[in-house]
Amino acid sequence: MSPELETLDQLLGGDLPLPIGRRLYPNDQTFGHATVGLLFCGDARLVSPDGSDLPQSRRCEVFFSQPTLPTELDNLKLRITEQGVRRIK
């Protein structure tokens, strides 16, 4: 199973903190690209600690801006969408 599908499979059990999701990928760059892809195609949402969606304009910044990685990523979670559920089942 690809890491992206593995991520969606994990999300069927509930929200996935990004530090845990990162373990499914060989490196930060692959993780960032794959996760942004899941978000862009609508299979997952990126949510903040208060449960609100992170604005689309911030997604790439969060994943590819090195100063952001250690702090902000630790507080964000992936949440599967209905489209993502259909894709994995």
Could you read off the pLDDT of 30-45 as tens digits, one per residue?
888 888 899 999 999 9
For the chain, give every domain's residue range: 3-88
Predicted pLDDT at 65: 67
**84 has pLDDT over 60:** yes
Task: Please give the CATH architecture assigned to the domain spanning 3-88.
Answer: Orthogonal Bundle (1.10)
Report how far residue 54's alpha carbon sits from residue 6's, in angstroms, rounded to the nearest whole number. Answer: 22
Predicted pLDDT at 74: 82
DSSP assignment of 15-56: -EEHHHHHTTSSSHHHHHHHHHHHHHHTSEEEE-TTSPBPPH
Whether 13 and 80 have beta carbons less than 8 Å apart is answered as no
